[in-house]
């Protein structure tokens, strides 16, 4: 999304939604792909990322949501006779990747994991994919974006970090029979030739890259040859 706003107008939008930090990633301005009207060398998402860096304590107010009466484990089996391929591209990719081992990620063991506990938790999303790396004893929560997604890298980063905060880590590990000592790490999974990956550039987007580092978010990329190939970027 490209929309020309001034520096003051963008900051007004940020301040307006700053009190609702658990839905901050959903705001339209987080997907602005242009530059500031009165600062044409400054990308919009750089201003937003700088605000988040300066106000990181706000992220601590994102509340954990515990699925009290149901498991995180949805017993998804990926592509099979009882799990037809969906028309939704990101979900289709997730299904195709499920139950596959990737050297940099580990075993991709489930997808589309709901975070909400009750129907009252409206607007709460789902984790696209999860992978378990036995060697490093960690689970990656993956925010997946299709190759032609128009969402910014900043949106991906804020979304997966929000999900990481909302997830009850102990219950998740228990529901999937993973060791209680397993680390859970937020990560993004984007195509190597996508706009999101182009924004993973410390020269043009230093604040976005700094935010990724400070939130301990991992970046993985997909390339396609005869099958999906995944590599870790940081």
Which residues touch 136 (CB under 8 Å, ≥6 apart)?
106, 183
Average pLDDT over residues 21-33: 95
Element (H, E) at 187: strand 183-191
pTM of the predicted model as reported, rounded to 2 decimal places:
0.93
Task: Tell me phi and psi for residue 4, to 5 degrees.
Answer: -85, 120
Q: DSSP letter string over 92-159?
A: HHHHHHTTEEETTTEEEEEEEEE--SSTTSTT--EEEEEEEETTTTEEEEEEE--TT----HHHHHHH
Over the stretch 121-151, which tens digit does the pLDDT of each residue have?
667 899 999 999 999 999 999 999 999 999 9
Q: Helix, strand, or coil here: 92?
A: helix
SS3 string of 29-64?
HHHCCCEECCEEEEEHHHHHHHHHHHCHHHHHHCCC
Question: What is the Cα–Cα distance from 70 to 156, expressed in whole angstroms?
Answer: 27
Question: What is the Cα–Cα distance from 6 to 38, expressed in whole angstroms?
Answer: 5
- pLDDT for 226 equals 57
pLDDT at 78 over 70: no
Task: Tell me phi and psi for residue 132, to 5 degrees.
Answer: -115, 120
Over the stretch 221-234, which tens digit does the pLDDT of each residue have?
998 765 688 888 98
pLDDT at 176 over 70: yes
Average pLDDT over residues 194-214: 95
Over the stretch 81-107, which tens digit does the pLDDT of each residue have?
445 555 588 888 998 899 999 999 999
pLDDT at 156 over 90: yes
Over the stretch 111-126, which tens digit does the pLDDT of each residue have?
999 998 876 666 789 9
Question: What is the Cα–Cα distance from 65 to 108, expressed in whole angstroms?
Answer: 23
Listed by start position, the domains of the chain span: 7-232
Computed over every residue of the chain, the mean pLDDT equals 90
pLDDT at 2 over 80: no
pLDDT at 190 over 80: yes
Q: Is the dihedral of CA 68, 72, 75, 78 positive or negative?
A: positive
As a whole number of Å, the end-to-end CA separation of the chain is 27
pLDDT at 4 over 70: yes
């Amino acid at each position: 999304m490209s929309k020309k706003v001034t520096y003051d107008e963008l900051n007004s939008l940020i301040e307006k939604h700053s009190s609702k930090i658990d839905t901050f990633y959903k705001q339209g301005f987080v997907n602005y792909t242009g530059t500031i009207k009165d600062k044409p060398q400054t990308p919009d998402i750089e201003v937003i990322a700088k605000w988040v860096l300066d106000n990181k304590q706000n992220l601590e107010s994102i509340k954990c949501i515990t699925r009290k009466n149901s498991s995180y484990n949805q017993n998804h089996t990926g592509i099979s006779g009882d799990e037809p391929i969906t028309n939704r591209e990101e979900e289709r990719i997730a299904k195709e990747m499920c139950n596959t081992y990737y050297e940099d990620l580990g075993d991709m063991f489930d997808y589309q994991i709901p975070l909400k506990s009750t129907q009252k938790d409206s607007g709460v999303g789902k984790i696209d994919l999860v992978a378990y790396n036995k060697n490093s004893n960690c689970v990656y929560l993956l925010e997946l974006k299709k190759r032609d997604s128009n969402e910014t890298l900043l949106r991906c980063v804020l979304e997966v970090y929000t999900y990481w905060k909302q997830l009850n880590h102990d219950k998740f590990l228990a529901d999937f029979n993973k060791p209680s000592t397993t680390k859970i790490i937020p990560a993004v999974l984007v195509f190597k030739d996508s706009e999101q990956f182009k924004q993973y550039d410390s020269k043009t987007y230093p604040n976005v890259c700094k935010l990724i580092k400070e939130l301990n978010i991992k970046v993985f990329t997909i390339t396609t040859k005869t099958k999906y190939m995944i590599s870790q970027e940081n």
